[in-house]
Chain A
């Protein structure tokens, strides 16, 4: 074994110098080491990551593009040049939803696992990594998974001719990530504050994520909903990201908000979630 501990022979200044030297890389790259661990851990459910990343968009695009769209005689949405294919309308929303759905898994059960079930956040906490770095590393790993899902989705959108401007449409990938973070980071803060899961995550799935998915103008324009339901879209990262995506794909529809307004809402939600999540991690791990 190489655990050649020199504590009996090291002079005090050398002891302090060794401690300073030992913290240089962790202080700078601790967040990345945590992300490395999370990514390695994702390999244990790698098939789930791949199948949901590719299988899910395949099913949705086939079902809607070849199925539902064939029954729609009346145009559902319009761009600057008039009515657009239903598949063009719905595909950006599906991409944003896919990114958001990654966070409903990774920022709930994975977080509870880290704090309570497998307690690996406590193991990380005993290392030079700070609670903020642990939070950041987790977010980075999940963002990379979202990037994989969003990129796969976009590639299939192109293959299914579900996007107008292919080059501009590529920005749907980062917009999807922003939507995922806008929804996911507040969820992360909530999950990190829970001492145990007594059904809260199932409630989030059924009563937060599913309504957002259905009432965010995903399958029809938000304006077709009664006024008292439209607020769901206004607070929904899925709606804001979908609207940006549609503008990027085929141009702004009638009455569309400026892209900057949607992006600002998403950025504020993500930033607020980020600040609170990091504070919750610090409070929990350094209490």
Chain B
């Protein structure tokens, strides 16, 4: 493996008595799309801030592009593109101006900034909005503009913190398409998300984080293979009957999880299990057979749902 662009060993961040990141280890090789999956408050954003060289670690070792963020912050940030969780575009500037002023922070000459801004507006499908005010853009357009802005310095690593939170499904898919193109071009992507479908779509490899610790690490498919079954049967009997129905189904599936609104049965053959449920005389109000997802992995690892 070539030298990683990010290498963390025992990375720790404490705020007073609270430990936000608790001694995590991970490496990101160049060109990989790497994800941090976990619920809100898991320590993902804090990790991103340390990798982004804007927050000092409390303990551990961290190298980004071969340098220590504590001593080489500007050097590291010159190689990063950062897409924050909340848009921080300058609403008093026009769309194209946002790209140009941001490029200047990296010491890029004005003429080069202008040329790159035009190219990036094309990439972000915002050419016809170049002279628009930022406030006139939709949420999805603003996210695409923020991503375009993060690419103005041709970064070695693009860091995205919850890139599609708050977007409608169509806008999410447009954004995924743009990120997938970057991935195909070999851009190293580091993203945090609490959406398992996003992690499955975009990440080559990910770490599942909870309470500042890594619960599991691997590719989405490997994690599902390791921590879940091929299929899941979701049954709804009504909130007051789910628990008793689950007791009746004991032994029918590899594993059973009772959630407030449904019962999950883990198995390699969902249709056959559904037949056994019917033979047992149980009649759920709704039933669904689906493939296992990272949500199931997280549930298995933590006993909690990702989105609570």
Contacts and interface: CB of A to CB of B under 8 A. Distances in A.
Interface of A: 1-10, 12, 15-16, 18-20, 22-27, 29-30, 33-34, 36-37, 40-41, 44-45, 118-120, 122-130, 285-287
Interface string B66-104: 110000111111111010101111111100010001101
A126 B79 contact: no
B90 A118 contact: yes
Interface residues of B, number: 56
A122 B155 CA distance: 18
Given A2-B154, A23-B74, 20 more contacts: A1-B120, A2-B119, A7-B157, A10-B30, A10-B156, A12-B2, A15-B65, A16-B65, A16-B67, A19-B66, A19-B72, A19-B78, A23-B77, A29-B107, A33-B101, A40-B97, A118-B88, A128-B75, A128-B77, A128-B107
A3 B105 contact: no
B39 interface: no
A217 B75 CA distance: 51
A1 B107 contact: no
Main secondary structure of the interface of B (DSSP, over half): loop
Interface stretch (B183-191, B196-204, B240-248, B297-305): B183-191
Given A3-B123, A5-B154, A286-B55, A16 B66 contact: yes
Interface of B: 2-3, 5, 30-31, 52, 54-56, 65-67, 72-80, 82, 84, 86-93, 97, 101-102, 104-107, 115-116, 119-120, 122-123, 149, 151, 153-157, 182, 185-188
Nearest to A24: B107
Q: Could you say which of A3, A8, A27, A120 has the most chain B C-beta atoms within 10 Å of its C-beta?
A: A3
A127 B88 contact: no
Contact of A127 (B65, B106, B120): B106
B30 A285 contact: no
A33 B103 CA distance: 9
Contacts of B54: 125-126, 285-286
Given A2-B116, A12-B66, A128-B77, A26 B106 contact: yes
Given A7-B156, A12-B66, A124 B105 contact: yes
Contact of B55 (A5, A118, A129, A287): A287
Contacts of A285: 54
A10 B151 CA distance: 18
13 contacts: A5-B154, A5-B185, A5-B186, A7-B188, A16-B66, A19-B72, A22-B106, A23-B78, A26-B78, A33-B107, A126-B52, A286-B56, A287-B55
Nearest to A34: B105
Contacts of A19: 65-67, 72, 75-76, 78-79
Contacts of A127: 77, 102, 105-106
A45 B91 CA distance: 13
Given A15-B65, A41-B93, A128-B78, A36 B154 contact: no
Contact of B86 (A16, A36, A119, A125): A119
A122 B31 CA distance: 27
A128 B74 contact: yes
A33 B100 CA distance: 11
B55 A1 contact: no
Contact of B80 (A2, A9, A33, A126): A126
B104 A33 contact: yes
A3 B93 contact: no
B14 to A, nearest CB: 13
Contact of B107 (A3, A25, A34): A25
A139 to B, nearest CB: 17
Contacts of A44: 92-93
Contacts of B31: 7-8
Contacts of B73: 128, 130
Nearest to B15: A287
B52 A118 contact: no
Given A7-B30, A19-B66, A122 B88 contact: yes
Nearest to B72: A19
Nearest to A5: B187
A41 to B, nearest CB: 5
Contact of A37 (B104, B153, B188): B104
Given A41-B92, A128-B106, A3 B185 contact: yes
